[in-house]
Every structure is written in C-alpha cells, then in structure tokens.
Chains A and B, each alone.
Chain A
Amino acid sequence: MTLPSEYLEYPRRGHGQDMDRHDWQLAKDRKPVRLANGKALAVMIVVNCEFHPINPANTPFRHPAGMVTPYPDLRHFTSRDYGNRVGVFRILDSLKSHGLKATFPVSAALLTRARPLIEAIVADGHEIAAAGLHGDAIHWSGLGPDEENRRVEAVRTAFGEAGLSPVTWMSPARQQSFATPDILTAHGFTRTLDWETDQVPVPLRTDSGPLTALPLHNELEDFKLMIERHQSEALWRDQVIEAKDFLLAESQTHGASVFGFTLTPFVTGQPFRIWALRELLAALAGDERVWCAGADEIAQAFGQIDP
C-alpha cells in the first residue's frame, strides 16, 4: 500500500493563504487603527449560552460541553442547564454592576425554552448573537449545503419569531463547513466568532458579501482553562488581565485592536468562581483605554460596515 503520487503535489503552494476567504496580511504591515472614540482596545466579552440536548447525535463529534454518560445523562444535562438558569444571571449582574456590554450567542432552542433569559439579555443592552439551533447541531461539510442551509434558515426564522434579528453568528462548538460563510451571509449574518485569525476584525469573502471574522481567543476560553486544563480561577483572571495589558502596550505602536474572550455560564457562573469574574471586570472597567462592546459594534468601529 502506498500513497498516490498526487499526495506530493501542492497545487496551492505559494505566497499567502491556501484558501480564498481572505488575503494574507502580516499584522505588522497593517495601517494602525485609530478608533473614533479614542480607545486603544475593544474588548469583546462573549457569553456563550447554548442548549445541550440530552439525546445528542454527536455527529460528527461530541460538543466539548455535550453529554458524557449513557442516556439519560441527567448529570450533564442539568449541570449545563444550571448555566442558563442560574450562572448566567450572576454574569449579567456582574456586567451590569460594572456598566459593561457583551455579546451573548444563544442557541435558537433557548429562545422559547428560556425566554426570560433572552428578555434579560436584551433589557441589559447586550448584543444577542445566534449560536445555531443547539449545541448538538454541528455544522460540517458532511451535512451538505442543502441541509446546512435549512439549519441556518431555521435559526433565522426562530430568531425572527422571537422578535430578534441578530447579525452575529457563532457555530455550535465553533465548527464550520467549507460552505458555512456563504450560507451565513445569504441569511443576513455579517459577523462570525468562529475564526480567530487576527487581532483586528477580518472580512471573509462570501458569495453574498463580506462576513467579518472577529478575533475570539481559543486559548482563553474559561471552559478550556478551568475545566479541561484544571487551572485556578485566579490564574484565569490573571491571564485575561495580562492579555488586556499586553494589547494596550502593543497599541502604542500597532494601533487599536480587539480582545475577545469567552465566559461560559455553567463554568464562570458558579458561586465559587464569580469573584474572579468580578475582579476581572473591575480591571476592564477601571481602565479608561478599554472599550467593552458587542461584536457588531466593534466590527463597525473597525470599519467593517454592513453592505
């Protein structure tokens, strides 16, 4: 058994990207951004409210926060639900007490199931984003474009019926297919939180106009650091504040940038963790060079104007 000769052919081997969604550009060669509001750092806090079904298909993989044990996994179903019932309100209260605005990707399944949560997010002035149908409705190329299109259309319809018209999209488990960006813009989504890519928003090419990729740092996810990697709340807080301070220092030569990080309600919203969030938010709110805003507002401030 040997590999075919095409395995050593490299049709996209050349300067820059090996795909066409965006062009290659070094961060150091970018024209520094000066924000109209004079701030040096746009902080994008992403509070990820997903519904994790107790009967997942786990196709093509299990969502990292999905069910674990054989059916019925009451343990993980109810622990995740804790985030959307209890933990998220601690996060909302903490944001409010510091006057900070965030982006809340929510599963379409929560629009009816957890309607009071949706109303609370809207009442507090945060941006609502779409997080797909639910945590187990993962987008990937095996779905085929028709099925993926139906899913995004169903999400758009569900939000419309809830009186909401989000422009920002985060895929379940932040997984996409090759076609996802085209399908998203066809349904009116112009921002995505799936591609980390750069320290500033980057427009992705799609069949229906640009889709702005806002940098959301994979390596600073609260779930990843505190659950998967067993780091302490104090270490998580310190790393988020360190990133803020680093980017503020870099802004003196590189201009304004975007700093996106994730808060998972069933993780950070625990009673014994919320102190760390309060300290972290105090550090953001107490720094006059920092501007906390929703994903769409940040994209606009960085010149990514809706078509």
Chain B
Amino acid sequence: MKPDPNLYDYWPYRDRPKIVWPGGRKLAFWIAPNIEFYEFDPPKNPKRPGWPRPAPDVVGYSQRDYGNRVGHWRLMEAMDRHGLKGSVSLNVAMCDHCPEIIEACVQRGWEFFSHGIYNTRYSYEMDEAQERAVLEDSIRTVEAATGQRIRGYLAPALTHTPRTLDLIAEYDFWYTCDLFQDDQPQPVKTKTGKLVSMPYSLEVNDVITYGALAMDPWRYADILKRQFDQLLEEGETSGTVMCIPLHAYLVSQPHRLRAFETALAYITGHTDEVWFTTAQEIAGFYRENCWDQTIADIAAKGCATGGTGFEGETA
C-alpha cells in the first residue's frame, strides 16, 4: 500500500486548457438518480455490516422501499417537468425486483450505469473473479433489460478494491464516478482502456446534505443554486461539470421535493450556457475532444508521475 494510489496526476485548477462543451456551452449538467435495492437480510461482509442495525433493519429497509414505491415516480415526473434526463446509478438487481421503474426510465430515454448488483453487496475482499462476475452481470443484466451497453460505474456503496478501476477500463467502461478530486473530468491511469473520472459529487449529494450535514430542504436548494452559479462562472474559463446525485428515498420525501424543484427551475433557466446531458455523453465528448489536451497539459506542467493506479497491489 502506498500513501497515494497514483490513479491520476496532480493537476492544478489554474490555467488549464479550455474545454468548450457542445454548442459552445460552459457547464455540462447531469442528474444521477440512484435506483437502489438494499436487501432485507444481506450476507455478511467482513469489512462492513449490511445495515447499521441488526437485520432486519426495518426502518432503513422500508424507507428505501418507500423510495422505490413512491419516490422514483415523483422524481421522474419532476424531472419531466423541467425537461431533464437522468443517468441512473443502478443496482442492477433492480431490473429483476422492480422492472416497472426500469421500463419507465427506458421510455424517457435515460442512461443507465452500474452501481453494483445490490447496495448491500460490497466490493471489499472480493477476488478478481468475483469482481469480474459483478461487472459481467452488470453489463448483461442492463443490456437484457434496456438494450443499453453500460459505460459507467459507481462501486456499490462506494466500496472498492485496488483492481476495480483497472477492471472497468478493461471491460470498456468509459467513466467512473468513484473519484471526487475535481470539477472537470480527467484521464484515470489504468493499465488498459480509456477511463475518465466523471465529476459526480458527494458534496451536493442528497445523502450527504440530508444525512451527514443535516440540511433542511430549502438550504439544500440554496446550495444547489450556489454550486451551479460558481461552476457556470468558472465554465467560462474552461468547461466544468455539475452533477446532482439523488436518492428518491431522501429527495422525494413530501417535505423536500418542491424545494428541490426550485433548484431545477433555476438551473434549467440557463439553457444557452448549459449542456443538459448524460454522463455517457460527457464522457464520450471528453474522450474524443479533451483527453489528449489534458495529458499534454499535465505533462507540460511537470506533474505527471507515470505508471498506473495501485501498481503492485493489483497483480
């Protein structure tokens, strides 16, 4: 184990080459509804319990069930009202448990990416064959349910092994949402492939704002507007990415959804400056148009360290 996993090179936010998003837009905006399944009685992982309380954690389980039964539809309809598509962070077992929700997303033309099989099956301690099985299951399951080949990954419950990113790059994933080091995409140093770190966000993620930071609904709407304003202003210099990661069991609660919608109304009022898009489209554009200039800029500024992530730990 090394202090720095060397997954990407240090790259100062000042004086970067200019990114201009399609249509001359300054900010690429995407929404990541997490569509998740937490098992009632998950198997034990040695590194982390499936639930904070002994199973069955009926309070936690049923709140997430509420999100699936009630919340997603509310959120989909709210996004419809503002003309926004989602890039779904999907526990792929949802294709089996709740296909009605998947079908509704397909009808809306939403993108899907893998967030593991279940949010209660962690990557910790998996061997390579097991991690490959999860990725192959993800690709196969989503393709069968939606016809889409997934191109993005967010490890289930943000649990990783040192080989996770190398593996997804090998399976021709285009982007990972697992890294939080920047407001712009950046090449990830994997052994093979062309993997982009996609700005997702913990800071404006409803799990953090409503859970860890205990915000009220109106303050959450306020910080979303401020996040947007700042990133739009900076996007003039070089294009930025803003993502709002959501969980229907949180944001679609009756005391919260209307406040959240004021933020969507504010953001979608900036159509000329903002590319309303999906993570896959951002990654595709970045790989074609920005990848090489980033590599060259990092090399020129002397921050490139060579090698790939977690070297020596992934054999």
Residues of A within 8 A of B (CB): 51, 53-55, 69-72, 74-75, 77-79, 81-82, 84-86, 89-90, 109, 113-117, 120, 134, 136, 227, 230, 232-233, 270-275
Instruction: Check B226–A109 contact: CB distance below 8 A.
Output: no
Instruction: Check A85–B182 contact: CB distance below 8 A.
Output: yes
Interface assignment of B60: CB less than 8 Å from any CB of chain A: no
Complex Cα–Cα for A86 and B5 (A): 19
Instruction: Check B158–A74 contact: CB distance below 8 A.
Output: yes
Interface assignment of B180: CB less than 8 Å from any CB of chain A: yes
Instruction: Check B5–A70 contact: CB distance below 8 A.
Output: no
Query: In this complex, what residue of B is CB-closest to A110?
Result: B10
Which A residues lie within 8 Å of B1 (CB)?
54-55, 71
Instruction: Check A85–B13 contact: CB distance below 8 A.
Output: yes
Main SS at interface, chain B: loop
Which A residues lie within 8 Å of B160 (CB)?
72, 74
Our pick among A75, A272, A275 for the contact of B158 (Cβ within 8 Å) is A75
Which A residues lie within 8 Å of B219 (CB)?
232
Which B residues lie within 8 Å of A270 (CB)?
203, 227
Interface assignment of B301: CB less than 8 Å from any CB of chain A: yes
Complex Cα–Cα for A243 and B166 (A): 50
Instruction: Check A274–B178 contact: CB distance below 8 A.
Output: no
Complex Cα–Cα for A71 and B14 (A): 31
Our pick among B4, B11, B230, B301 for the contact of A275 (Cβ within 8 Å) is B230
Instruction: Check B162–A72 contact: CB distance below 8 A.
Output: yes
Q: 12 interchain pairs (CB within 8 A)? A: A75-B180, A78-B181, A85-B10, A86-B182, A86-B183, A113-B4, A113-B10, A114-B303, A115-B302, A230-B213, A230-B214, A274-B230
Complex Cα–Cα for A31 and B214 (A): 46
Instruction: Check B3–A272 contact: CB distance below 8 A.
Output: no
Which A residues lie within 8 Å of B181 (CB)?
78-79, 81-82, 85-86
Query: Which one of B2, B12, B182 has the highest number of Cβ atoms from chain A below 10 Å of its Cβ?
Result: B12
Instruction: Check B3–A116 contact: CB distance below 8 A.
Output: no
Query: In this complex, what residue of A is CB-closest to B303?
Result: A116
Our pick among A70, A82, A90 for the contact of B48 (Cβ within 8 Å) is A70
B213 to chain A, nearest CB (A): 5
Which B residues lie within 8 Å of A116 (CB)?
10, 12, 14, 301-303
Q: Which 5 A-B pairs have the closest CB atoms?
A: A53-B3, A271-B230, A55-B1, A272-B227, A272-B226
| CB-CB under 8 A for A72 and B303, given A82-B181, A89-B13, A272-B226 | no
Count residues of B near A (Cβ-Cβ below 8 Å): 44
Complex Cα–Cα for A109 and B10 (A): 13
Instruction: Check B5–A74 contact: CB distance below 8 A.
Output: yes
Our pick among A53, A79, A86, A272 for the contact of B204 (Cβ within 8 Å) is A272
Instruction: Check B183–A271 contact: CB distance below 8 A.
Output: yes
Query: Which one of A69, A109, A117 has the highest number of Cβ atoms from chain B below 10 Å of its Cβ?
Result: A69
Query: In this complex, what residue of A is CB-closest to B222?
Result: A272
B260 to chain A, nearest CB (A): 15
Apart from A51-B4, A70-B159, A75-B202, 10 more pairs, CB < 8 Å: A72-B5, A77-B5, A82-B181, A85-B13, A89-B14, A115-B10, A134-B3, A230-B214, A233-B223, A273-B226
| CB-CB under 8 A for A79 and B303, given A109-B3, A134-B3, A230-B213 | no
Main SS at interface, chain A: helix
Interface flags, B43-58, vs A, CB<8A=1, else 0: 0000110000000000
B51 to chain A, nearest CB (A): 16
B209 to chain A, nearest CB (A): 10
Instruction: Check B3–A74 contact: CB distance below 8 A.
Output: no
B203 to chain A, nearest CB (A): 5
A9 to chain B, nearest CB (A): 45
Interface assignment of B117: CB less than 8 Å from any CB of chain A: no
Our pick among A72, A117, A233, A271 for the contact of B310 (Cβ within 8 Å) is A72
Complex Cα–Cα for A89 and B240 (A): 15
Query: In this complex, what residue of A is CB-closest to B213?
Result: A230
Which B residues lie within 8 Å of A134 (CB)?
3
Instruction: Check B179–A74 contact: CB distance below 8 A.
Output: yes
Interface assignment of B224: CB less than 8 Å from any CB of chain A: yes
Query: In this complex, what residue of B is CB-closest to A53?
Result: B3
Interface assignment of B161: CB less than 8 Å from any CB of chain A: yes
Complex Cα–Cα for A109 and B47 (A): 29
Instruction: Check A89–B182 contact: CB distance below 8 A.
Output: no
B124 to chain A, nearest CB (A): 6
Instruction: Check B230–A272 contact: CB distance below 8 A.
Output: yes
Query: In this complex, what residue of B is CB-closest to A52?
Result: B3
Interface assignment of B231: CB less than 8 Å from any CB of chain A: yes
Which B residues lie within 8 Å of A69 (CB)?
48, 158-159
A179 to chain B, nearest CB (A): 25
Instruction: Check A117–B203 contact: CB distance below 8 A.
Output: no
Which A residues lie within 8 Å of B230 (CB)?
90, 271-272, 274-275
Query: In this complex, what residue of B is CB-closest to A70?
Result: B47
Complex Cα–Cα for A116 and B300 (A): 12
Which A residues lie within 8 Å of B179 (CB)?
74, 78
Which A residues lie within 8 Å of B180 (CB)?
75, 78-79, 82
Instruction: Check B203–A272 contact: CB distance below 8 A.
Output: yes
Instruction: Check A120–B5 contact: CB distance below 8 A.
Output: no
A305 to chain B, nearest CB (A): 36
Instruction: Check B183–A272 contact: CB distance below 8 A.
Output: no
Instruction: Check A89–B161 contact: CB distance below 8 A.
Output: no
A84 to chain B, nearest CB (A): 8
Instruction: Check B162–A115 contact: CB distance below 8 A.
Output: no
Query: In this complex, what residue of A is CB-closest to B214?
Result: A230
Which B residues lie within 8 Å of A55 (CB)?
1-3
Which B residues lie within 8 Å of A117 (CB)?
10, 12
Instruction: Check A72–B12 contact: CB distance below 8 A.
Output: no
